[in-house]
Structure 1
Amino acid sequence: MVRVNNRTGLDNYLRMKLYPRPNPLQMPIQARNQNKGVDTEGNKLRIPNPLWEVRKFNEIYSQKWQTRRSGQSDAMIELEAEDQYREEFNAPFTLKRSWELMRKCPNWIRIPTVQTSASKRSKASSTDSPGTSDARVNINLNDLNEEEEDDDEIENLTRPTGRDRAKTDRARARRDSSSQTTPDYNQGIEQLSQRIGDFNELKRERQRLVELQLLFTNTEHLTGLDREIAERKKDKIRQVGYALVPMIAEGAMLGPDQPVILHMLDIEPAGEILKGVKLELMDGAFPLLKDVIATTNVIEACQDVDIAIILGGFPRRKGDNKDVIFRNIGTYKAQAMALEQHADSNCKVLVAAYPANTNALIFKEFASSIPKENITSLTRLDHNRALGQISEILNVHVGDVKNTIIWGNHSMGLYADANHATVDIGTGYKPVRELISDDQWLNTEFIINVQQRGQAIYKTRRLSSSFSTASAACDHMHDWILGTPKGTWVSMGVYSDGSYDIQPGLIYSFPVTCGKGKWSIVQGLKIDEFARQKMDAVEKELIEEKTMAYSYLH
C-alpha cells in the first residue's frame, strides 16, 4: 500500500482542503475550549488532528502488511489495523476514505500490494460401473490456487541516508525564501483528479476480493446485518456440495449395489468445517459409504479417484465473463494436473461451475492424458428444468415427459428445444408440440423460462440453486455410468465431433444416449430454421469464450 514520505505544500493543502479549521466565533463555548485543548473544567484534551490520525493508521497498517500471514488479504489486514487502532487510541478510525485518497498522492511511498487468489470450491465423485469394488469419489470444495505467488515482492524498507539533514536543509531554505510563496495547489488537484479513475477501479477490485475472502475470514467481529450477510455468502458456496454428498453416499448416483469411498477437498481455513461434514456422513450410517477422506491436500483428494465433480469456480458477476474465465484458469490448472497425475487413468470429470463449457475446455488443456470424451459439462439442470416446464403446463407427471434438448451452453444463451419431446399419455407417447398446440409459447416463453429459472429461484429464495444443481449432477453421472433408458436421451455438454455442423473442439451440449460408461450423440434429428438460428447463436457464444480463454492460456 502506501505510507507518508514527507510533508509538502500538497500535503498541507490536502489537510486544509479536506479538513478546514472551524471558525471559533461560530463554535459554542465548550467546543471553543476543546479547540484550545481544554475541557470545561480546564483539563487538557488531545486536539484532533486528521492528518496525524491518518498517518498513525497507515503506520499500523504497514506493520500489519509486512508481517501478514500466508493467504491473508488486504481487506483482512485493514480489519486488523482498525482493531489495533481502536485498542491503542480508544476510538474508531473514521478517516478511511481520506486514507484511501491521500495514499494515492505521489508524495507517499508506494509499498507493493498483495494479489489475492480467487477462492473456489469444487467437488468430485467416482465409479465407472456398478460392482463389488469400492468407487472413489472426489469432492473438491475449494478452488483456491495455493501455489499462486504474489506478483510483487516486498522490498526492505530502510531509512534514507542523510534524511534528517536533508529535511533540516529544506526547512531552512523555506524560512529564507519569501513568506509569500504559495504552493502550486492546481498541480496537486490535477494529480488527484487523474487518480480518481484508478481509485474507483481499486475500490471495485477490493470489493471483489472482500467477497472472495469471506469464505476464510473470521466474521466474529461483525454484528447484526453485516454478519448475517457475510455468513450467507459463505453458505452459498457450500450448499451444492453439502446437498450432493448424501446423495452419493446413499447410492442415488451409482446405484444401490455400488460401494463408494468419498474424497472431499477444501482449503486449509475451512478444514474444521470439512471435518464436520465428515462427522455428519458417519452419523448417516450409509451402508454403501465405505470410507470418507476429508482433506486439504489436493494430492490426497485426487488419489485413485474414478469420478471428479467440480462444482466451484470464481463467482459470476454481471457482464464480467472475461474476468471470470481468467480467474478460473489457475484453479482448473491445479485441479486438472492433480487429477491427471493421481486419479484413475479412466477418470470421468463433470464441470458444473459457470461458465461450465469453457471451464471444461480449460480443464482439458491441463489434463491432456485424460480422454477428451471423459471431460463433460453440466447442462442436465437446464434439461430437467425444461421437463418441469412442460409437465407443469400439461399438468402431467414429470416422469412421463422425455427427450427435451438443451443445445449449446449453460448460460442465458442456451436453446431449450421441445421439437422432439414426447409425453406418455397412457396409450403411448405423443409429441409435445401436438399436445400444447402453442408454437408461440414453445418458441418464446418456454425458452425464456428455462434460461431465467436460476434468477427466479434466487429472487424468491435469496439463494442460488443448490439442491436442484446437486440432483442434476447426480442424474448426469448416473446416466453416464449406468446408461440411459431405451428410447430416451439426455442433455450433456460434451466434446463436439462436428455433429449438426457445430464446430469441432467445442464443449457443446447435445442430446446423448449412454451405455457401458460411454456417451453417444443422437444423430439424424430434424433441425428447422428457428432451431438452426438458436444453435448457431449459442455456438458463436462458445467460440468467443473459447477464444478468450485460449488467449490467456497461450
Structure 2
Amino acid sequence: MGKEKDYRKEYSISSKWTDINSKCHQFQEVFQRNWDNMESGQNDANVITRALEEYNATKDTFTYLRCWELLRGSPKWANVPTITSSVRRKSKRSKTSSSVDPDTPTSDARNVNLNIIVDNEEDLELEQPPGRRSAKNKRKKAESSSSNHEILKQDFEEMNRRLQDIRDLGDRRLQTIEERNLENKKFVAIQESRQIEKDIKFLSKPIDHLTGDALILAQMRREQIRRKYGL
C-alpha cells in the first residue's frame, strides 16, 4: 500500500474490516432473501433497493454498499443463507472477540485485497445520501397529500351531486302526490255533485202509485235523503 499520508496500520485495517465484514454479511443475507423472492419483471437494482429499505428499517443505515458490491462477486459471499440462530451466535462472537480468527474465511482481512478498499470513508457512503432521500420522501408525501386532497374533493363533490339528485327526486315525488290528491278531491267533488242530483231527482218523483213494500222502501229512502241534507 506504500507509506502515503493516509497510511493505515494492519490493526487499523483489521478493526475496520471486522465491522465491514459483519454488516456486509448481514446485508448479503437480506439481499439474498429478496433475490430468492424476486417478482417477475424486476432486476438487480430493484432487489438492491428493496434490500436497502428492509435493512435500514430493521437494523441500521447500511453505509458499506460499495464494499458489498466489491465483495459480492467473491464465491464466499454467493448464495448466503438466511439468518439462523447459529449464524447470529457466530456473528456475536466475531463482534466480542478481541482478535480475528485466521481460520474463519469470512473474517480474515488478509483474504481480501486491501488495495481495493477506499480509505476515504466518504466514498463508503450510499450513493443516495439520507438527506436527499429525506427530501425525496417529503416530496412524495406532499404529492401524495395533494393527491389525497384532490380525491377527497372529488368524492365530496360527487356526494353533493348525489344528495342533490335525492332531493330533486323527493321534490318530484311530493309534487306528484299533491297532484294526485288534487285530482282525487276533484273526483270526490264530482261524485258528490252527481249524488246530490240523484237525491233531488228521487225526492221530486211521485210515489203515490206504489204499494206494499215498494212504497215502504221509497218512503224510507226519502227520509234518509232529508236527514242527510237536513231537510
Radius of gyration: which is bigger? Answer: 2
Higher helix share: 2
Q: Structure 1 length as normaliser, TM-score?
A: 0.14
Q: Structure 2 length as normaliser, TM-score?
A: 0.30
Larger relative contact order, structure 1 or 2 (CA cutoff 8 Å, min sep 6): 2
